[in-house]
Chains A and B, each alone.
Chain A
């Protein structure tokens, strides 16, 4: 299916600053799509606009042809676009299992009257089963009863993805998932993402780690100063003169 997630002429302005300038790209269904660019290129802003954290100044974001731009974050999530956050944004005081249980919120919507009367037993079982499944998927089931804040960094990042995965997303937006990871952890994380894609989830990644991006993505969109610079497979991007110039500075500057 083409035109699965389509960003159409997205513009984000903050006062006089244009962070994203009529950016358009398409994420294919079942792909791992990378969004790269030098610092300040507007990657995270784009991300925040897609996930509903910001309302676009202009332009549209379409999921399966349906507009999702301008919706609130929880409404975007209910359409199937679930994001993770930079750093280890977790419910640090809750246990690992409880973190995953929050992820099941959409599938098993809590009802206060059912909860008091005890009619939601099946829902609670279902939510628990789903949360366990998500934790097993990311190899966290042994740590189920640990406090999330006590986990190692790599596990915390995996848990962030598990929370998103528990929500049955169609698209997962990963915001710099490799930050602060050693090569070992990066490799393990890449493996998890491939597994995630093979389970039918479309992935959009914002990332600085070029090695990981090149090895992982099916398609890459490169931005610079809020504009689309290049798009294509890892090989095209690696050898694209504009991309090299944006990252390393043009030959004219070197001289």
Chain B
């Protein structure tokens, strides 16, 4: 009952939110929504214990692919977005063969190299990818109406509603995966891959599975972004963006499902609204870095640990479920606007 009320209140707040914001803040809100999907999919990837530096490039694969399909073959935009996600997943699958011969730090470096290769291919080949200037004039999402609301995609508010719905569905899917036996196996692979193997788990297959699914969702995030801003170039997916994703995940904490999302939301608000208002234009990256260092020093378990501590008295069941707490309610009925 309380849970249902919580989700209804959250949905109502998310629907009302853009109307309380300025135009530029509404645009930031759209990017924030897309970034929530990006960082949540990143957490899915880290469940098996491997941290990739190619995730943002994979997102770019989804963006490029979706833009390419609409441009070259005239594919209907929503379908093209899904195809972009599938393309990103397939690219991840191909990459997984060389990459999952490595573990830990080597995987990190290997994934960075793989990502840079893809990015340099975009820069080098002007024909399909547009070279360093990237793709321009990407077809926007066509307007449509669902009776009670007319989606006009020149308005960020409309795109926000659209993106938020897509992201909510994706988050629900990821949540289902994590709470399933598949998710448990991901955790098992993370904590003791040898023991998991002894229990008959094909560790390589599960690492690949997590990588491919996470990449699919990242690709969808990329496609959502490409059709919103209408232009993409190789530098929109460089390592700087990856550092932002890592910062969100680390500051938020990765032990719970909502941790990275919390990190993304809090840091974006801090960065785009608070610091901008206070006039720290040039110094924002510096402050961002300082926040990362401070949170590692003083909040090593991330923002989520604060929430967990605050919620502790209200928990009924003893610590069970996913490792390090099972924070969000068991049935996220609907958080779609």
Contact = CB atoms under 8 A, between A and B. Distances in A.
Given A93-B323, A97-B320, A120-B180, A73 B195 contact: no
Contacts of B195: 85, 89-91, 102, 163
Interface stretch (B197-205, B225-233, B278-286): B197-205
Contacts of A78: 200
A77 B200 contact: yes
Given A95-B320, A112-B182, A115-B182, A105 B177 contact: no
A254 interface: no
A116 B176 contact: yes
Nearest to B318: A145
A59 B184 CA distance: 37
B239 interface: no
Contacts of A208: none
B190 to A, nearest CB: 9
Interface string A93-108: 1110110011101101
Contacts of B321: 95
A82 B191 CA distance: 19
A164 interface: yes
A221 B10 CA distance: 66
A83 B185 CA distance: 18
Interface in A195-215: none
Interface bin, chain B: 20 to 34
Of B195, B198, B319, most A-chain CB atoms within 10 Å? B198
Interface residues of A, number: 42
B287 to A, nearest CB: 33
A173 B203 CA distance: 20
Of B181, B187, B199, B321, most A-chain CB atoms within 10 Å? B199
Nearest to B317: A145
A108 B176 CA distance: 18
A106 B323 contact: no
Given A98-B184, A106-B199, A106-B200, A89 B194 contact: yes
Q: State the 8 A-B residue pairs at the shortest beta-carbon distance, nearest first.
A: A115-B180, A110-B181, A106-B200, A77-B200, A93-B323, A73-B197, A102-B188, A110-B182
Interface of B: 173, 176-177, 180-185, 187-188, 191-192, 194-203, 209, 213, 318-321, 323-324
29 contacts: A51-B198, A73-B194, A73-B197, A74-B198, A74-B203, A77-B199, A82-B199, A84-B198, A89-B194, A91-B187, A92-B191, A94-B187, A95-B320, A98-B184, A102-B185, A102-B188, A105-B188, A105-B200, A106-B199, A108-B181, A110-B180, A116-B173, A116-B180, A120-B180, A123-B181, A124-B181, A145-B320, A167-B199, A167-B200
Given A72-B202, A118-B176, 20 more contacts: A51-B198, A72-B197, A73-B197, A74-B200, A77-B199, A93-B191, A93-B323, A93-B324, A94-B191, A102-B184, A102-B199, A105-B181, A105-B199, A110-B182, A115-B176, A115-B181, A116-B176, A124-B181, A163-B199, A164-B199
Interface of A: 51, 53, 72-74, 77-78, 82-85, 89-95, 97-98, 101-103, 105-106, 108, 110-112, 115-116, 118, 120, 123-124, 127, 145, 147, 163-164, 166-167
